[in-house]
Structure 1
Amino acid sequence: MLGILCGILIFFSQYDNTVTTNSFEWILYSHNGYDNCLLYDQRLFCRDHDLSSNNISSCTQGTTWYFSTLKDSSITTDDLLKWRIPFETIERYADYLDNNSANSFICNCTHNRIGATCQYLLSVNLSTIAELSKDQLRDPIVREVILHTCLVDMMKCNTGLLCLEWRQVCDGIVQRDNGADEIECHAFELQNCASDDFQCRNSMCIPNEFLFDGKIDCMDSSDEQEVDRIQKIFGSCPTTTIWECEERLCRKDEFSCGDGQCIHWSNLIHHQYSCKNTRDLAYQCELQEFPTVANGICRQNGLSGLPPLQNSTSCSLGLRYLLVGSQRKVSWNHIINYCPDFIQYPEQSVLSPVLKMFYNKSRIVSFYAGQNFGLPLLKRTPDLICLNGTFICNGTLITSTNGTCWSFERYLSFADLPFFPFSYLFCQMVKNQLQNSLSREYSQPLIIKSQSFICNQFVYPIAIRRINDGYIDCLFGEDEQHDQYNIALPYRYRCSDLSVTQYVSYQQLGNGIEECADGSDELSNAFNWHYFRCDFGEEYPCWVFRSAYIDNTDRVNNMRLPFHRYCDSIRDTRDGHDEKNCSQWVCPQDMYQCRTTGQCINKDDFCDGDFDCDNGEDELNCSITKTRWILENQCNNTREHFCITQHFLINQTLHRPCIDYWKVSDGQLDCMGGRDERNFFVCPDHQILGDRFLCDNATKCLSHTVICNGIIDCYDQTDELICFWTRHKCYIYTFACYNNKTCTADRCTYKTNCPNNENLFWCPNPYESSYRISKVRRRSNYLLFCENVELSNTIYLNFNQL
């Protein structure tokens, strides 16, 4: 069923024997019909026979070495790889070494040339293949060309003329009306790996030893924890060519951009975060004001992709011109003359073979009835989205004569579903229709093995290993929190709320997303998984995760916070018990112990603007900085913190904007926005308040960026009332200074300060990405902690002996 990938992913070109980036005759990854290949970075770069080039047979730009000379000089095939000798030449040399075959030669190129006869000249600033490919991929026009990746058997899809990319086969999204791209994929789904192997989510098998080692081995990355350090390599996929990108498979809830970039599937509906190469917009580029060129790809620069509108009778072409804002009057008249009441655009199905989009002609015509052609079309999205046509459902090819349509607003609501739903929705629609509206063409039996699970009202089976694994595989989530399958498979973490049966996979722990209903996969009353990262294979967290197969011990579900994480000023448990009752705690010798709370903080953290001791005693007696709001000078910095209270707003003469430091973190809200309880109050996301703004009876936590921006975000309006002066003429989204003259758009960037620095009064530490993140000591000084306790015990024993 599967063909071999042959397409254009990255290229080298020859122009007057010079490698450039504007024409191509080399491709990355090819089938056996190609030769003259270079092996670089574990990938083959091969020359395309079908493209013209100079046929240079002599070694005029390099040094000729015969195989016999190479053998006498003990030159190995590995040496030739380092010399960038074409791969098929190296194979011939290997055959000569092994079988004493024909004595051919290599052409050893200088550092700035490549090719079998050194016929390609690399430019001075691009001396390596990696630099050349990276330079090419920076160009949007080149990225348009690289989208033409497809299977050799040319299995075409019905969602436009784009041929299938290899990642789209067996991805759960039917691209062909006959389901050819998903046929027999259930057999792959239901296969089991050997007992000493780990089964990736895409059913691939890898040795257990490769699991949780900080290196991606599963093509879908499911063998590693979902942490930023491991995942960030994929951020460069749109502009670089590395094997991690080219071998990457996207998850079931993602869409493949064809270059290793994956976006959440819902972007196919709302396009909020499109592929860098705009593959998700194929044949509907005008939705984002890009013209669609003839092959369905978006032209990201200019309008040259659209064919001439003059002398054309194409209805949709007029709409496309209107959507990109070009020749509005001409295109408006074109729509009046050539379009039906409902205009199908794109002209073919999109996303699914049975999904079609329509624009209401009357809406468009009436919008420009007043000849206001200087304005862009107010609503650029379709009016109706319809399901209709022929599709395969549960092994049977079905034609629906009575489809169903939704408004675009209803269509947007489908983005909340966990993965691409339109195959299911079509089959469910035809199931509910009368039999006389259906035409059955052929039937294909479906084999279901015993070790499988069938989602409600959907015949296709999923493997039993997917039950209660934290990933939604049934459209309505019935595979999760499933009490009937209370199975104890390895690599599962049981959520803390025992009233429900819910598990997540180890890979999801600490990934920043609360998969457990109670959020315990991120922060529980026992542990903070966000700081338990398997970044490198030799680290302790990796060993804990691997212990399920090392010695069949479930250490993950029995994890408890180590002693050296207590009283370190970092809240590591949901109820915060690790930072309470610390008065008897023994701090390491190089740290300061807060007088009131007993917490241990770095001595270097004094007077840095952060409340490291929960009551902020480390910010008392600090020298006054130039970036301080002049109003803060009213406070006695030996025992008070700045605090705008309701009393101060009522009478600024009688009351001062100050609070005694011992009232901070006492559980009582004294300051507007909860500034005094920044280290105590917990927001609905289970994280402490920090630099956020608390309002609406302590039910809402807002980003500091929305404070005093002219827009009321709290029902009690405190996010604007806290700036108690008049805004006057400042625009919304700007900060109005107290002098009623200055407006600043970037309140906390220090670029445009108010005369008295009042714009800086609620700004986070500019050197930290999140609240007090630099104070988190992941690599704990455990040995120093133990040595300190041992020293204290020694002193205690000596004292008792006196």
Structure 2
Amino acid sequence: MTGRSTKLSLHNFTLYCDSLIYYPKHPLISPYITTVYNKTLIIESFTNTHYNISLQNRTPHLYCLMDRENQICINETLLKTYPYPPFDYLHYGPKNNVQAIDFTNSYMCSHSNEKISRTRLNNGFYDCLFKDDELNNITYSISKKYHYRCESEVPVQYVSIQQLGDGSVDCMDGSDELSTIIDWQLVQCDSETNYACRLLQNGEGSTAKLSLHLYCNSLWDMKYGLDEQNCSKWVCRSDDFQCKNTGQCINRKWVCDDEWDCANGFDELNCPIMNNKSRFILEDLCDDKTEHFCITKEFISDQIHHKPCVQYTRAGDHTIDCIGGRDERNTVSCFDGRMLGDRFRCSNGTCINHEQLCDGLADCTDGDDEKICYWNKLNNCSSFPCFDGRCAERCTTLTSKACSQSEQLLWCPKLKTVMSVVTSAYRAGKVISTSNYNEFCDSSTHQPHLNTIQDDVISKRIDRQFHGYCNRGFYLLTNQSRTARCFCAPPYFGDQCQFSSRRITSKVRINRLHRSDLPFTLFLLVQLICNDTTIIDHSSFVHVIDDNTKFHNYLLYSRTKLEICLYSVRYEAFYVKKTTVELLAVWQYSIMPFNFLPSYRLAKIFNFPNDVRMPLLCTANLCFSNGTCYLLNNNQSSYFCYCQRGWRGRHCELVDDECSDNIRCAPDSVCRGNAICLCKQGYSLPNCFIQNN
């Protein structure tokens, strides 16, 4: 745009635009930061400028919180002085007016005038320019919510719950990834309804508990494997394989897969040896039915009277018998608190990678990583030394590059393909998700199932057995199998009402005593709307003119992931007549930017304007397909298109297949989106076909 059009635009801009221009209307940078342009600065930029020159791109002059009544902004110049985008800092602390800051709840950064909320102290993120907000200043108390205290006593350290299980160690002791309570990588909010989401949305990371079905499953879900101890009397699912002596429960597909899953390796005993499988010749000296291959110091010192083997009953007993801890690979840990696995454990507790074995360099202080290759006297191989003095390629199965007795396979991990990726990570892909709790319980021999009721005494005993079975609901027993079936309260779902839905609570009171011209009774339809187009959920109530009741309604978010939604709640007031249903008023309230909350409460009083004929219609019809344009009662600068049957959308531009036929709703009824039927007087819901006299 150049020349005359630029000059005319600048003239209109000067006359009609506000001094501060909020553009775009909705936040782009974050859910709470809006960009603002200064009218005066824009006009000044045109001084001594030729109008035939093309307009330059502009950056915002201010970055502000959405709450305009308590304006908090930072200008572009100050923004450039930060080493990182300070939007979280802006959201939680500073004001333009320094005197307005509540010092009792603020922290002043060292060597600067920055002030941040105490909630930002020791949360794992640097907010002060010189990072002093993460120095655990004991002068300031720590806000515990949405903070997680690392397990070590010294130093005292906190991180944000957002950093739990993100794959990056933020706590010095690593407890933000694997703690003595839980493996935080299991607690990721990847679903709107699971335990992890409820835990993290409440900001209570310290209250996390490991699910029952993750105990004694051979996988370490707690630091040091605390969840895999004392499992000898554990009860397994009917389709699981139970390890002898240890009691652990594993997937039957894991048996004889050439990788230990039971702590004592019981699942790898008496397994068929594949004809094409190569293995170290010393392994043939062990009895595959009762022994595991194990190089001990006794064997190295006296190979005539000792075998390189250990009884499986001595494996997994937390006592190391084999050099490198091979017999305790699933029970002992390294300094990181994780399972030893395919690593080599030195006598001082440090762990090294299997590739560091027998390379001629002592990585363990006592040299055990070289002593295990007791035949290597020359230490002249940078790869792997063979019995005959040759050098071979470590872990290869190619005959041309291997040792004659396959000793290059010593301590080699198993290669497997996980998600189309070849990996040697120990037991990779063997993960049990926290989401299969129901599968675990339903497969157990202890699921609630009863025989025929014969007397009141048995009935009372059954009631005690099912006490609390349905959590936030109640149960009924089927006639034949006497199996419990749960009925859940609206905000909860699941076969045992164990999940909480994300929801909106609507609390409304209607004030219309001053409008005697309005109908005695109004029918109100309450809807949760996505992008002004799709009805996600709905509810309704009836209001009588002199009723001061506060009407409560629940609206539930969809449990399936949708496209990006701008949520709003719409209230439509109808006058139900004998011959038709007439829309009288519409109110609509945006849920943005708080749609991420697990529960949101909307409390409103609806007033009808004085001396105004209802409904409020637009001066110009902006709707397509013969739709009617209504002004919103709560915001007459906005409008709503009331579509004819068979149409939907912001401007009635989309075909509504659910309302296009006369099957879901009677022909003379009103059909809203999702086949919501509104019946004329004398007919019954839900489809308005049945006459109610």
Tell me the TM-score normalised to structure 1 length.
0.42
Tell me the TM-score normalised to structure 2 length.
0.48
Higher helix share: 1
Between 1 and 2, higher relative CO (CA 8 Å, sep ≥ 6) is seen in: 1
Higher strand share: 2
